[in-house]
Structure 1
Amino acid sequence: MTLMLAAVYADGWDDAVVNPLTRTAAEARDAAGEPYSVVLLRDGRRHAVIDISWVDGYCHVSRYDEADRQISRHELRRTPDGDLFLRRARTWVGPPDVGVHEFPHVAARHSTTYRLAGGRTDIDEPQGDRGSRSDTSSAEFPPRLPVPAFGRWRDLLALVGDGDCEIVEADGHSLPVRSATVPPWQPPRPLTPDDVEELFRAGTERPIDDRRMRLSTHSAGTLRLPSGRLVATDPGWLKYDNVPFTVTVPPGDYPVTISLATFVDEPDHRRVAAARLDITDRPVVGWELALRDGQEPLDLGAGEFFGFGVDAGLACFADAGTYDRIPDLKSHLDAMIEPRYRVIGDGELVAWSSGWGDGAYPTWIGRDADGDVVCFVADMLLFYEGEDEEGEDEED
Structure 2
Amino acid sequence: MGQMVGLVYCEGWDPVARTVVGGLDEERARERDFAGEQYAVCLVDPDSGAPTALLEIADRYRRCSWFDAAGRRERVRVDVVLHGRLFHLSSTEWVYGPDDEEFSDEVERTEVSHSPQGDRDLVKDLPDGGSYATEDEVPVETLYRRVPAFGDWHAYTGLDGTFVRRPAPPAPPGAEPPWRPPAPLEPRVGELFEPGARFVVDGSEFTIESHDVGPLRLPSGRLVAADPAWPADEEPFDDMLMPVAHPVRVLLAVCADKPDWKPVAALQLVLADVPAVTWEPARVEKSDPALLGEGEFYGAGVDSGQLCFVDASAAEALGDVVGEHEVDPDGAEHRTALLSDPASGGDMLLFTAPNGDGAYPTWVGRAADGSITCFVLDTLFAPERHFDEG
TM-score by length of 2: 0.70
- 1:221-271 Cα distance to aligned partner (Å, 9 max, x none): 2222121111101112224x2321111212122221100112344333422
Structure 2 Cα separation of the partners of residues 140 and 203 of structure 1: 49
* 1:316, distance to aligned residue in structure 2 (A): 0.3
Structure 1 Cα separation of the partners of residues 92 and 143 of structure 2: 22
Structure 2 Cα separation of the partners of residues 301 and 92 of structure 1: 15
1:204 and 2:187 are equivalent in the alignment? no
Is the Cα contact below 8 Å between 1:2 and 1:166 reproduced in 2?
Answer: no
Structure 1 Cα separation of the partners of residues 53 and 87 of structure 2: 19
Structure 1: gaps of 5 or more residues: 114-119, 149-153, 172-181, 387-396
**For residue 173 of structure 2, what is the aligned residue in structure 1?**
none
- 1:168-223 Cα distance to aligned partner (Å, 9 max, x none): 2579xxxxxxxxxx997433332222333x34532222344654310101122222
Of 54, 71, 93, which residue of structure 2 is paired with 1:49?
A: 54
Structure 2 Cα separation of the partners of residues 104 and 226 of structure 1: 50
Q: Which amino acid aligns with 1:23?
A: G
Is the Cα contact below 8 Å between 1:190 and 1:301 reproduced in 2?
Answer: yes
- 1:302-337 Cα distance to aligned partner (Å, 9 max, x none): 322111112332100111132443343235544334
- 1:69-121 Cα distance to aligned partner (Å, 9 max, x none): 63451435599xxxx9634365689999999843637xxx79696xxxxxx96
1:104 and 2:116 are equivalent in the alignment? no
* 1:159, distance to aligned residue in structure 2 (A): 2.6
1:70 and 2:68 are equivalent in the alignment? no
1:301 and 2:296 are equivalent in the alignment? no
Of 142, 159, 165, which residue of structure 1 is paired with 2:156?
A: 159
Q: Secondary structure at the match of 1:274?
A: strand
Q: Percent identity?
A: 32
**For residue 86 of structure 2, what is the aligned residue in structure 1?**
86
Relative distance call for 1:141 and 1:319 in structure 2 (3 A) is same
Q: Secondary structure at the match of 2:138?
A: strand
Structure 2 Cα separation of the partners of residues 112 and 311 of structure 1: 24
Is the Cα contact below 8 Å between 1:64 and 1:72 reproduced in 2?
Answer: no
**For residue 388 of structure 2, what is the aligned residue in structure 1?**
none
TM-score by length of 1: 0.69
Q: Which amino acid aligns with 1:237?
A: W
- 1:98-156 Cα distance to aligned partner (Å, 9 max, x none): 99843637xxx79696xxxxxx969699x99788844224499852345x5xxxxx523
* 1:342, distance to aligned residue in structure 2 (A): 1.4
Relative distance call for 1:12 and 1:310 in structure 2 (3 A) is farther
Q: Where does 1:172-183 land on structure 2 (aligned, <5 Å)?
A: none
Structure 2 Cα separation of the partners of residues 104 and 242 of structure 1: 33
**For residue 180 of structure 2, what is the aligned residue in structure 1?**
186
Relative distance call for 1:382 and 1:140 in structure 2 (3 A) is closer
Relative distance call for 1:270 and 1:28 in structure 2 (3 A) is farther
Structure 2 Cα separation of the partners of residues 124 and 270 of structure 1: 41
Structure 1 Cα separation of the partners of residues 257 and 20 of structure 2: 48
- 1:41-94 Cα distance to aligned partner (Å, 9 max, x none): 5466553233344xx554422224458563451435599xxxx96343656899
Q: Which amino acid aligns with 1:253?
A: A
Instruction: Work out the number of aligned pairs and report it.
Output: 351
Structure 2 Cα separation of the partners of residues 364 and 308 of structure 1: 12
**For residue 269 of structure 2, what is the aligned residue in structure 1?**
277
Structure 2: gaps of 5 or more residues: 126-131, 170-175, 386-390
Q: Which amino acid aligns with 1:299?
A: L
Q: Which amino acid aligns with 1:367?
A: R
Is the Cα contact below 8 Å between 2:207 and 2:253 reproduced in 1?
Answer: yes
1:314 and 2:311 are equivalent in the alignment? no
Relative distance call for 1:264 and 1:355 in structure 2 (3 A) is same
* 1:296, distance to aligned residue in structure 2 (A): 1.5
Q: Secondary structure at the match of 2:374?
A: strand
Relative distance call for 1:292 and 1:360 in structure 2 (3 A) is same
**For residue 343 of structure 1, what is the aligned residue in structure 2?**
338
The RMSD of aligned alpha carbons is 4.5
* 1:20, distance to aligned residue in structure 2 (A): 7.3
Q: Secondary structure at the match of 1:231?
A: strand
Is the Cα contact below 8 Å between 1:202 and 1:217 reproduced in 2?
Answer: yes
